[in-house]
A = this chain, B = another copy of it.
Amino acid sequence: MSTQIPRVQLLLTGDELMSGDTVDSNSALIARELAGLGLTPSRRVTLGDDRNALAKEIEALCADADVLIINGGLGPTIDDLTAAVLAQVANSGLSEHPEALNHLEKWCEKRRLVLNAANRKQAMLPTGCSLIPNPVGSAVGFSLIVNDCLVMCTPGVPGELRAMLPIMIEQLRARFGITLQKDVLRLQTFGLGESTAQQLVLDNHPDWPSEVVLSFRAGAPQLEIKLSVTRAEDRPLRDQCQKWLESLFGDHIIGEGDTRIAEAVIDLARESRVTISCAESCTGGMIASMLTQIAGASDVFPGGFVTYSNTLKQSVLGVQASTLESQGAVSEATVKEMVIGALDASGADFAMAVSGIAGPGGGSEDKPVGTVWLAWGDRQRVDTVCLCWPVERVLFQTMVAAAALDALRRRLAGIDKQSRYFDQRRMR
């Protein structure tokens, strides 16, 4: 068993990656998993579905790497070339792999599909390759040694790649005798901008230790903060840095790992033995959808109401016609009545309500596109805020839905402070 640090390169294939039809998120997925072994790919090449170019590139990359991870081109269609090209470069020929065929047959059977010729092509693999099991999709992955380089072929569908990566990581760990474990702590936050967060850390902790790598990954609606060390002895330093971050950003931290904001709300509600509901106008079902994407949401969420029209705000939630007339649908009075209406109609203990102008049309001078009123609370106390988020429609809905969930998260967690973005985006 070798203990060298292997040189890793990536090859991504697919016309859709070259044409700009698809943004490649798979490379980042692969890189983040490799980081757990302390490995960073040194080079990444992306090519279209061109047999000659692929063959030439695979040959060159193999000559210059210990591990080559190829992503894409394993599907059933004629532009899926990876197996054929790799067999050509390795001079191994293609043959029907019995395990792969078995996987395909089972996959089709489970879905009540007939295995057709196109699917069956996915079992034709370079002779002598080993399978990388695919727990979720039809295409199996496979690996083959080509000129002393371990070539691992993986499917382009992100969900399938994600499911296969832990298996590949263990194979790499075993093959190269990697004992080092990059120790990564990921914290999910909501309401912090990347540059604000970075500046706050710099200002408050100019003595930040270089052994603890701090990085940020902005995703809508959450910002991930990552702390990593590569030596076990630096673990106490990392714990200290984590404490610093918690005292700086504590109320913005939703949870560790992949925790989503809806998940944090559901967990808090379950712990407090309360139920929650929502009344949505401009977010149009996205709050309910974020909640119900979490398994077990039914424990605390009996349901919610998408009251897009004023008529439904009245008939379903009991918002007063006079309120809508005098204050308008996007107003503090309306969202307060929506919360009460949602509590009454659902029987839940807590509720959120939002009403705003998602755009692109519908704005006015007084209430421009991006204006939104939020309300949340229980029968004793309903809080409100008016924010302005003048961004593209779906991003607006996503951020507003998350803001409503975050407001309720803070209420359920007994956090009195509101989020920083409330100050930055507050209108009234």
Contacts and interface: CB of A to CB of B under 8 A. Distances in A.
A28 B45 CA distance: 14
Contacts of A157: 218
A20 B30 CA distance: 7
Contacts of A46: 27, 43-46
Interface residues of A, number: 105
A361 B312 contact: no
Nearest to A33: B20
A159 B395 contact: yes
A255 interface: no
12 contacts: A18-B40, A21-B215, A22-B28, A27-B46, A40-B48, A76-B194, A118-B198, A159-B392, A284-B293, A285-B306, A303-B306, A316-B345
Contact of A302 (B21, B32, B296, B309): B309
A132 B353 CA distance: 40
Contact of A392 (B16, B45, B136): B136
A112 B390 CA distance: 11
Interface string A311-326: 1100110000000000
Contacts of A18: 31, 40-42, 44
Contacts of A198: 76-78, 118
A288 interface: yes
A226 B15 CA distance: 11
- 9 nearest A-B pairs in the assembled complex, by CB-CB distance: A284-B292, A285-B288, A20-B31, A20-B32, A285-B285, A285-B289, A302-B309, A76-B195, A20-B28
A27 B20 contact: yes
Nearest to A284: B292
Nearest to A289: B285
Interface of A: 15-25, 27-35, 40-48, 50, 53, 57, 75-79, 110-113, 116-119, 136, 157, 159, 194-196, 198-199, 215-218, 224, 226, 280, 282-289, 291-293, 295-298, 301-309, 311-312, 315-316, 345-347, 358-361, 388, 390-395, 397, 424-425
B288 A306 contact: yes
Nearest to A20: B31
Nearest to A32: B20
A217 to B, nearest CB: 5
A280 B291 CA distance: 13
A283 to B, nearest CB: 8
A392 B305 CA distance: 25
B308 A298 contact: yes
